[in-house]
Structure 1
Amino acid sequence: MRMPTSVPAASLLAASGLATMIVAAAPAEAATVEFPQVPSVYHDALICGGNIRSWADTGPQWPGRAIISIQALPVAGFDPGEYSFAPQCITVATVAWRNMDTGAAGEYRVPVLAGFYGSEHYALFQDTGPGHIIVTVFTDMPNIPAHSAFDVPG
């Protein structure tokens, strides 16, 4: 049996329409900027220390906003408790930011509880406004602060 000539044309049009829909539905480009890690001492143990990592996620789907994330990497230390070499330690990590184009400023501050596994991932939207954002990352204990920058689309 011979197929009508309109079927291949319809199939081709359907396929090209699907391709157009896939391209049109592709997400806008997002950017992730990881800041330098912050070595820090922690509270609640005789000796406890480790690195804090932090980063910003931006994209045109969040104009004028950035998601700031903070996470502790595994800590090392000693605590005289039952699990001496697996202490649970805490520090308050802060990402202070300033928009160099508008002058807006703010900070994301969060208590970070960490152990030999690190910590959970803490994240929060920041209304930075569009522009070039500079950041300083530090903790409430002795640390080596980190400085970085990223851009937020309008």
Structure 2
Amino acid sequence: MRMPPSLPAASLLLPLGTATMIVAAVPANAATVEFPQVPSMYHDAVACGGNIRSWADTDPKWPGRAIINVQALPVGGFDPGEYSFAPMCETVATVAWRNMNTGAAGELRVPILAGFYGSEHYALFQDTGPGHIVVTVYTDMPNIPAQSAFDVPG
């Protein structure tokens, strides 16, 4: 009786080595840092106010960059127009940032139109450079500014 030819041991171990390399290549996760909300008054109504929400998204796939996000939550107030208790109000929100490692600085300035349901979601990449980023969020109307920080991977 003739035995089938044997396979080299290396060919049997190859699939196991490949699986090990795939598992070892799992990338780091993205991060989202929510900043404290900014209570603010708004333009274009007798009385209008609400909170501005802002946050940063970072990911190792975007080294030295972060996405800064801004959105108004629902506003409340009064306007003598047709819909007195559901006014459309406007303000300009600013997220000013400074990289504490490099000294780089910038800002995202967004005109926000908000109403009973809040506003659109505004987002834009910022070239912060890698490091510890400190932010201040404020509006062009009476407000209570907020400060926060996040880290951008290199």
Q: TM-score, structure 2 length as denominator?
A: 0.85
Q: What does residue 142 of structure 2 align with?
A: 142
Q: What does residue 60 of structure 1 align with?
A: 60
Q: What does residue 129 of structure 2 align with?
A: 129
Percent identity between the two aligned chains: 82
Distance across 1 between alignment mates of 2:83 and 2:45: 11
Determine which structure has more spread, i.e. the larger CA radius of gyration: 2
Matches within 5 A, 1:5-154: 23=23, 28-154=28-154
Distance across 2 between alignment mates of 1:123 and 1:103: 23
Q: CA deviation at 1:26?
A: 5.4
- Relative to structure 1, the CA distance from residue 25 to residue 107 in structure 2 (aligned partners, 3 Å threshold; closer, same or farther) is same
- Report how many residues are paired: 141
Distance across 2 between alignment mates of 1:28 and 1:20: 16
Distance across 2 between alignment mates of 1:85 and 1:26: 52
Distance across 2 between alignment mates of 1:132 and 1:138: 20
Distance across 1 between alignment mates of 2:27 and 2:113: 34
Letter in 2 for 1:88: M
Distance across 1 between alignment mates of 2:98 and 2:32: 18
Give the RMSD, CA atoms, in angstroms: 2.0
Runs of 5+ unmatched residues, structure 1: 1-12
Distance across 2 between alignment mates of 1:24 and 1:86: 54
| Structure 1 contact 28–61 (Cα < 8 Å) conserved | no
Letter in 2 for 1:60: P
Distance across 2 between alignment mates of 1:28 and 1:84: 50
Moved over 2 A (4+): 16-21, 23-28
Q: TM-score, structure 1 length as denominator?
A: 0.85
Distance across 2 between alignment mates of 1:151 and 1:57: 10
Runs of 5+ unmatched residues, structure 2: 1-13
Letter in 2 for 1:129: G
- CA offset digits 1:49-87 (Å, max 9, x no partner): 000000000010100000000000000000111100000
Distance across 2 between alignment mates of 1:78 and 1:135: 32
